[in-house]
Chain A
Amino acid sequence: MVKKSQKKEKTGALSIKNVTKIYDPSGVNVKAVDDCSMEIAGGEVCMIVGPSGCGKTTLLNAIAGFHSITEGSIHLDGELLCGPGKPKAEQSAERMVVFQHGALFPWKTLQENVAYGPTVQRAMSSAEALDKAGQMLAEAGLGQFIKKYPGEVSSGMARRAEIVRALINDPKVLLLDEPYRAMDALTKQIMHESLLETYDRTGVTIFFITHDLEEAIFLGDKVHVVTTRPCQLKKTVEVNIPRPRSFETQSSEEFRRLLEEVNEAVHEEAVKAFQAGEREMA
């Protein structure tokens, strides 16, 4: 609460209230999210951790406007995104998604990809947008690759470019769905540092879904552990490690302690999820 008042001027505060999502694809109601509430302050890095298939992505899809919600409401800076009478949020550049498998358009160069948002929103002329895109990619260390197609660069570079593509629109919230899942540990480390550097520069609110507990603590201000399906908030762990953080942070005493705390909460849920899976199989 104190933190919130400190960052009063920051935008991008997400308020998720009693959200429930029921899927009904084949007449059997599946509750993916059940009465889930979370408060995310503007400019906060909020990490969502929970077992596979627990409904984390459903929550993200609701915020992004890809799916509707059944009950509850989601507000961004006090404005209703979705709620009673408006089950599905509109898609908008103020809530940018970075996808699990990467969704840079393979038929556009990195520069064209980044310039795409401002161009179609008519926020800039196409030449201006390309200029700005080139500049921002160079800042992200991708200066030599702006004319390359996504298929020609490594997955790490593509992911960095995708974050630049999101940031050029000056979003209020960045929604990341396990963006570094398929990467090796070394690349991941570089990606983390690059994301932290970006965050320190922009202060954008980050909603980040992950399975990787070390990642969650290293990047986050708060780690929200959610339960196995249906998804509910189980525990919130505050990460009070000062920024800017570097990779040495990960060997600190405090880091280890937090890791243990989160691990304990997640492990319980993982066991439950596994047992539920076994029951379904049986």
Chain B
Amino acid sequence: MTANVIFYPIIVPLVTALALLVTPKKMKWGKEIVAIAGTALNLLLAIALFKSNIYFSAPWSGFGIDFSLKLYQFSSFIILAAAGFAFLITLYSTASLFNKDYAKPFYVYLALSLLMVNGAVLADNLVLMLFFWEGLLVTLFGMITIGNKHAFKTATKAFIIVGISDLFMMVGIALVAYLGGTITISQINLTTAGLGGLAFIFLIIGAISKAGSMPFHSWIPDAAIDAPLPFMAILPASLEKLLGIYFLARISLDMFELNVHSWASTTLMVVGAITILLAVMMALVQKDYKRLLSYHAISQVGYMILGIGTLVPVGIVGGLFHMINHAMYKSCLFLTGGSVEKQAGTTDLAKLGGIAKSMPVTFICFIIAAASISGVPPFNGFFSKELVYDGALERGMIFYVAAILGSFLTAASFLKLGHAAFLGKKQGNAEVKEAPMRMLIPMITIASLCVLFGLWNALPLNNLIQPILGKRLEGHNFSGLPTNALLVIATVVVLALALLNHIYGVKKTGKALKATDHIRYAPLLGHLYDMAEKRFFDPYNIGLDIVNFFAKIAAWFDRAIDWVYNILVVNAANLVTGLIKRLHTGNYGSYIIWSLASAAVILIFLIRAI
């Protein structure tokens, strides 16, 4: 195989995008055929390239900025995963976006996004990577704008939030170049001491904001409502996660030498744990199918960051395994959301219900994916979460507790979602039919992969994940059943608790949609006490206040980030501005004085030395 093959993952999507642009509008199936053919070709290519090692480098724009690409175990894996998702979601979109006038730009953006992801993953030079990285931001912007009428505002919000964090990453790259003397990724080897720590933090900010972690997440739930649905399945749920976590792993495993007890590791774990908990708490109280999913998309990133942040082999393997698992079940979930939206006409949980009978395949796929995300054995999510728990426990009880608590809340919210959307009483009169075949195939494929990766976890772990870490593992093997029986028991107990909790909630309120309300409004132990007791000394209300307080903090945190971006900066600057504005009276006499006085200062400065 010649080295030129390495360009094909960049060229194929580019050609696809260009071909899409010139496809005439009148051809009925033209754009669909081109899009499917292009992504399929890309998938075949990714399979062919899988596990090959190619390196290519050519001088590009000087100053050490080379056009160097590196294909190896890790990057070929990400490319394969991205290609698979792109193909399946294109197939899905041919049905869900058929007749929509934004279908064509969507395919173009999808192809371009694929190009950018492939490029960023292959790049072995930080500036080259930044180039593709930013390209993905543009396609992100474009994809959101083609949604509904609020989409432009959301797109701008996403663009600005991600853009700002990318600015940080840029500074980080400058710091790396300054400290390490090179921006070739495979040659960088830094520590987190002093300025290196700053560089590390800046790079991490870029990586986790691409992955959608807190506090860079607030555009995702908005986009879930405003953007076209396949967008959520392709970018925030799969491609961006793959890319963000890939880069996070590169930073913390390859570029920086971190040891287990460094502050950097702890920081990552704290960010991960906070993201898990806050986002899942927000998810719990959502009343919209897509919005609920989007908060989970944020929450699950926490597990990956937590897993990689542990820096112990089992945690890293778990984090990476969770990355691929999450991309699968979350895109599957979004796809079921898309089917429901298309067939039932809404994603508002209050208006949904009882559609399981009429959409059995969608429902089964939903159950598999939901069980996966909740960590129910024997699906894939269970195994990756166990690995993450194992790693977290090794680093500290508190992280494990946060992770398992997140798991409990995840399970609770999915029980609520499934119950409210698919079971229960039917709402409205409209006859709901099963989604068309082209939408079902991707869901079924991904759902069966979820099962496969769970039952036969040796396949992904031995072939995909563990070789990435190579010598770090030193004889460990994490495939097969989890070794720590206690953890498994704990997980099962937590899941059972979640189920009990759900049943209790439904009983108490009578509605599946309100099944989690008691978590929001009640302390965990409060409902064990007698009703009468509450009237005198009301632990219920106190507990309600406390939980409300935390729920409010979660919500406030969410809004506060918006506030900082939109208001604080402007107001603070306005104070200074007032002064400057008052100085500009319009009197040219004073302008002359400014000029002459400054000229005098400059002259004196220049000749002072003599």
Q: Do A and B come from one complex?
A: no
Q: Which residues of B are interface residues toward A (Cβ below 8 A)? A: none
